[in-house]
Amino acid sequence: MGAAPVADALAERAYEPVIGLEIHVQLSTRTKMFCGCELSFGEQPNTRTCPVCLGLPGTLPVTNAEAVHFGLMIGMALGCEPAPRSIFHRKNYFYPDLPKGYQISQYDIPLARDGRLGDIRIHRVHLEEDAAKLVHAGASGRIHGAEASAVDFNRGGTPLVEIVTEPDVRSAAQAAEWLRLLRVTLRQLGVSDVNMEEGSLRCDANVSIRPAGEATLGTKTELKNMNSFRFLERGVNAEVARQEELLREGGAVTQETLHFDPRTGALSPLRSKEEAHDYRYFPEPDLVPIAPTEEMLERARSALPELPAQRAERLESDMGLVPDTARLLAFRSDLGDFFERAAAARVGDDSKAIANWIVGELVANIGDADPADTKLEPESLAALVGMVREGTVAGSAAKDVLTTLVAEGGDPAEIVEAENLGAAGGDELARVVDQAMADQADAVEKIRAGNDKATGAVMGAVMRATEGRADGAEVQRLIRERL
């Protein structure tokens, strides 16, 4: 206990992370943002280029209407107000993957602003073009003794929507959770492949910390390249910890851009440029403003499907599902769709049971696959769940039936019949119980003496005899009856 009291106080002081996210979404239009080249999906390098996206002298950009449409859809889905008139700017900097020496992007007047998704406010949504890809050629590709790289312009000019949140996120886990919500929302909109590994969804985080309860913002750092939910969580946690340690040691956070290395989990500052960034934004004179007409807005509005957050709410309130199950079904729209078809196939109130079967047994069975791609029909699942409720098939046997349905399809009742999986009952079961109690006389004595655990031995014998087709509760009842 030799430490100075001040240091103690600092060490004990609780910090609160303040996190804002910047997400880049590659839009799944057919063609690029400003030219007619088709988007590239792993084609040979430099086979999806034209004079415009190579930045050849004299060429001019022309905005892709579908990209604007997708941008408006995203803006609306995130509860933003579309700008009555937005413009493009040029963001000037030199880099080999930037053919014109500037990126066409929206700046002070974005396509849409001021929205909300879940508990996080959206600052802005804007359109821009993606950079090309710089491939490091390695030791063999040297130019004049220095390392060489090669530029592939296939990706250059792919339409991007950038979504910037307000700094409302308070933990790494919340960041990852929210990003999942965003991803499933975008997937539901059908505007992007939203694949983080392939880079169609990219997330940067602005991270600062401040003493808990204070309103001021600390100095923030920008974390780049966290191309999975896990990396995002690890990266932000690492940065929060680094900043806390810095402050606790009496240091200060400096504003910088950090690169997250997923292999080591380390954060390293990006090579600082010779001079501070000065992007010299100015209005792009080659393009005219976007002023969405009522027709454009209506088209975007009517293209909006029910969004996952809304669906989860509806599944909870209308179908009585518990929140976790509702979210799971809503966030995996394939499961949600399958659920709603199965639930509709049933007159009785099996919705909750069907939901539980889907998020439990079915997901255990098929993993990430779309249930609609299996042989299982929603009506069959509903029928099977009904049979379990009615006691005509035991739960454990029903799992085997589900496995058969997934692999081969068919009618659950016929499978139960054919495989003799029907619940043992009536005289058959009574006879089996009688026999088991006769065989397990010792156990029966113990039960009579008040040792309930001894029921297990009788139960085991019954199950062995019926090959698991007996309903446990029914067997219990029959045993009690015979005591």
Residue in this structure with the two tokens 């079961």, named with its chain if needed: 429
Closest CA relative to residue 113, chosen from 127, 129, 128: 127
Least CB distance from residue 314 to another protein, whole Å? 32
Binders of Zn ion among residues 85 to 114 (CB under 5 A) are none
Spatial distance between the Cα atoms of 63 and 287, rounded to a whole number of angstroms: 8
Least CB distance from residue 284 to another protein, whole Å? 8
Binders of another protein among residues 30 to 49 (CB under 8 A) are 30-31, 35-38, 44-49
Among 18, 19, 102, 238, binds another protein (CB under 8 A): 102
In the complex with Zn ion, which residue's Cβ is closer, 34 or 260?
34
Token representation of residue 260: 């997250």
Q: Which stretch binds another protein (CB under 8 A): 97-105, 198-206, 308-316, 317-325?
A: 97-105
Least CB distance from residue 94 to another protein, whole Å? 5
Residue 124 pairs with which residues in a beta bridge? 113, 164
Exposed, middle or buried: residue 353 (CB in 10 Å: 0-12, 13-18, 19+)? middle
Among 17, 71, 99, 378, binds another protein (CB under 8 A): 99
Binders of another protein among residues 351 to 410 (CB under 8 A) are none
* 28 contacts another protein (rule: CB under 8 A): no
Any alpha helices (H) in 249-271, and if so which ranges?
Answer: none
Residue 258 pairs with which residues in a beta bridge? 223, 269
- Mind giving me the DSSP string for 383-452? HHHHHHHHTSB-HHHHHHHHHHHHHH---HHHHHHHTT-BPB-HHHHHHHHHHHHHHTHHHHHHHHTT-G
Binders of another protein among residues 68 to 87 (CB under 8 A) are 68, 85, 87
Least CB distance from residue 104 to another protein, whole Å? 10
Least CB distance from residue 232 to another protein, whole Å? 25
* 148 contacts another protein (rule: CB under 8 A): yes
Backbone phi, psi, residue 289, to 5°: -65, 155
Instruction: Count the residues of the shown chain that bind Zn ion, applying the rule CB under 5 A.
Output: 5
Find which of Zn ion, another protein, none residue 153 binds, CB within 5 to 8 Å per kind: another protein
* 59 contacts another protein (rule: CB under 8 A): yes
Binders of Zn ion among residues 23 to 82 (CB under 5 A) are 35, 37, 50, 52-53
In the complex with Zn ion, which residue's Cβ is closer, 65 or 473?
65
* 155 contacts another protein (rule: CB under 8 A): no
Q: Is 108 left (phi over 0), alpha (psi -120 to 50) or beta?
A: alpha
Closest CA relative to residue 315, chosen from 357, 275, 343: 343
Q: Which residues bind Zn ion (CB under 5 A)?
A: 35, 37, 50, 52-53
